[in-house]
Structure 1
């Protein structure tokens, strides 16, 4: 491929380099499609507002695209970076209500019930101390206590202790709230 008359456009590449670049782009696109919804859910579990989640996912995925070749455990890396981005957002923004907004697209009863349950879970998670909420978000996302300990830089015992406390608190909140 040649440059345009003004010098803009892609620089000439060898067919092999162009093919390799396309393979990386396709791999990242597949990763993005597979991981973005789960990352959004993870951020909601952490306490992010639904209107902040798309921006947080985009910022995190953009960072992933820049570091793509250097990331080893990509799923955990995404959550670690998203957690940091969310922490930065919290330090800049005053606290507001968190939840998933009901849209006009949710017309059937099952979707509405799921929306209500999701909002109740998010409300209960907001009641937890930050570390317990963080450990629960990683747990809901399928990470083991050992993996969580490594990612958060705390001991497995601290993870398990926070899980136990969070589960007790959520059970209590569930009994009080009727969910």
Structure 2
């Protein structure tokens, strides 16, 4: 595929024929311009120019400024989008290259929304305070963004990274944790389960029991937990059983204390 030169591609732009100032459309007009772009013969040249020159406003090559920013954040390594999209014609449509990158951005954002607060809660459950949990979760997602294309199981991968981040930090004794420290979660069911008394009880468990319970609370099966912790599924089940017995005893005693 031979690109139009920078001097002549605008002459063939569909938005020019349309009579509108499509390149700099704003607000609701952007949706209409994205439709115009679909059939444009110089859509790829237009997009490459906007990306290479970091043009901030309007619809270029069918992408809004928000979509282009996401694409640039996703691929900071690209020196020339014109060269990349031109080369893409040798094996596939440039649209497929762009769509694939935007899909990756959307997948990452969905994972962040679904897992960030749960990841913070996971770190708190294994014995750290909320600030450490927030910091570790942010580090994990920053690293995930860099390696997103290679990550096959994001939930397990993120928990492995936060464990690595925290392995040299001391656990916070239960007595030193402020009353305001709670799992930073949005899900109402999780909030109901993870009361202050349960967190206090988890902190009394040996580390192996605590981390196995943290994975269990986050929906991992014994087989999945075993794989993450390099244990056997049977060992995980026994650890879960012992942890539950300890938790029941603690919560039973905690309930009696409140009644008194």
CA deviations 1:35-88 (Å, max 9, x no partner) are 111111111211120122211110111111122111111111111222222223
Q: Partner of 2:200 in structure 1?
A: 123
Q: Map 1:3-152 onto structure 2 (within 5 A).
A: 3=53, 11-13=79-81, 14=85, 15-16=94-95, 17-90=97-170, 95-96=172-173, 97-98=176-177, 101=180, 118-152=195-229
Cα distance, 1:161 vs structure 2: 1.4
Rg: which structure is higher?
2
Alignment coverage as a number of residue pairs:
162
What is the CA-CA distance between 1:99 and the residue it aligns to? 5.5
Which 4+ residue blocks in structure 1 deviate beyond 6 angstroms? none
Q: Please, which runs of 5 or more residues in structure 1 have no aligned partner?
A: 104-110
Give TM-score, length-normalised by structure 2.
0.56
CA contact (8 A) 1:98 1:122 kept: no
Preserved CA contact (<8 Å) 2:130 2:181: no
Alpha-carbon displacement from aligned partner over 1:109-145 (angstroms, at most 9, x marks no partner): xx9xx69x62211111000000000000001111111
Unaligned runs of 5+ in 2: 1-50, 55-75, 86-93, 183-187
The CA distance in 1 between the partners of 2:168 and 2:140, in whole Å, is: 12
Q: CA deviation at 1:19?
A: 3.7
* Higher RCO (Cα < 8 Å, 6 or more apart): 1
